[in-house]
Structure 1
Amino acid sequence: MKAVAINGSPRKNGNTRLLLETVLAPLAEKGWETEIVQLGGKTIQGCRACFKCWEKQDKRCVFGDKDVFNEVFGKALSADALILGSPTYFADVSAEMKAFIDRAGFVSMANGCILAGKVGAAVVAVRRGGATHVFDTMNHLFFISQMVVPGSTYWNMGYGLEPGKVAGDEEALRNMRHLGRAIDWLGSAMGNSAAPYPVFAGGEG
């Protein structure tokens, strides 16, 4: 199985990436193919509401050759699990992540909800406040796209400002590791209803 994590932070090796790597680690241990795609800091325009994706129905955005959207969306389509990560910018996702969400949701719906049935998870890096709204913004894409969203031990957010600071948020790292195990369980359970759910126990790493 394959998990693709999309990093919406312009900081390629900042706190958002650290959280995403922590989620992916348990999946890699279970044999999943994992990949982090850098979106933040790259050119991606917002949706123009031109409805060409509804006319063409080719699983692409007509403007995708002008930026990175089609490349990144293609990787999302190849995955069994899609993990979106964003820093908190004025209590919402980064501009690049918002552009991706708007276009990915529209192209998916235009092509018969092609994201449906995939596992979706959102991860947020934050200095202090606003992370819950960022978390909601990314989850909205999953729910309207008929994706399956696993729970974890808390909202999937980690606290820290400077790059690497989130490594000191032990609760966040425990949550991310559990989220990875929950994604693995969910992916396995889709083909095996007897798979035991990884219930969190206090103090578990």
Structure 2
Amino acid sequence: MKVLLVNGSPHEKGCTYTALEEVAKTLNAEGIETEIFQIGTKPLAGCIDCGYCRKTGRCVFHDRVNDFLEIAGDVDGFVFGSPVHYAAAGGAITSFMDRAFFADLCSGKGSFYLKPAAAVVSARRAGTTATFDQLNKYFTLMEMPVISSKYWNMVHGFTPEDVKKDLEGLQIMRTLGRNMAWFLKCKEAGIKAGIPFPKREENISTNFIR
């Protein structure tokens, strides 16, 4: 089993990475393979609703979003990390998740269906809960079980060294890793026992214009 951890910070080894690394180390200790996927610092456009992904399952912009979609179907769980920018997720991770999740949803590939997911946020001081709420909404739209910890998944600090001093925050990351590992093992056991996935209905889409 493998969990993909997405670092939405422009800093490859910054505060968000430090939090994700703590989750990854715990998952590894539980026998779960991990990979940290760096979004990087190259510009990421927002979704332009061109419809390209409906036909191909990939985005019309050839960047890290498509790199992520190429491997998303082969992993078993996800953790998305973001710094807090103006009490919200960073612009790069927002564009990234908008396009990645929309492409999968429109194409019907189901790369995220019933795969556990979690959000991790990093801030110097505040804006963490708003960012945490923002990221979790992607998962609930995609029918992904949301993995919790003993508190909201956040760390505090201005530098990685600060984050390493946030002992409660690091414990939250470790608890998240153990909870994710437990869920993945339970899911695997259920599949082996022959428990089927939930019955799915044909999609109903309505609006409020009459």
- Assess same fold via TM > 0.5: yes
How many pairs are equivalent? Answer: 189
Show CA shifts across 1:55-107 (max 9, x none): x1x321122x2x22100222333211111000000011111100111111211
Structure 2 CA distance, aligned partners of 1:155 and 1:128? Answer: 14
CA contact (8 A) 1:42 1:96 kept: no
Runs (4+) off by over 3 Å: none
Q: Where do 5+ consecutive residues of structure 2 fail to align?
A: 191-210
CA contact (8 A) 2:52 2:58 kept: no
Amino acid at match of 2:187: M
C-alpha deviation, 1:116, in angstroms: 1.0
- Residue of 86, 104, 107 corresponding to 1:108: 104
- Residue of 50, 75, 80 corresponding to 1:79: 75
Query: Who is 1:182 aligned against?
Result: 179
Query: Who is 2:206 aligned against?
Result: none
Query: Who is 2:18 aligned against?
Result: 18
Query: Who is 2:48 aligned against?
Result: 48
Structure 1 residues 63-142: aligned runs within 5 Å:
63=61, 65=62, 67-112=63-108, 113-142=110-139
Pair member with larger Rg: 2
C-alpha deviation, 1:115, in angstroms: 1.2
Show CA shifts across 1:6-42 (max 9, x none): 1011111111001000011121122222111111423
Structure 1 CA distance, aligned partners of 2:171 and 2:132? Answer: 18
CA RMSD of aligned residues (A): 1.3
CA contact (8 A) 1:40 1:97 kept: no
TM-score (norm 1): 0.88
Query: Who is 1:201 aligned against?
Result: none
Kindly, what percent of the aligned residue pairs are identical?
A: 40
3-state secondary structure, aligned to 1:5: strand
3-state secondary structure, aligned to 1:74: helix
Amino acid at match of 1:77: G
Structure 2 CA distance, aligned partners of 1:162 and 1:176? Answer: 17
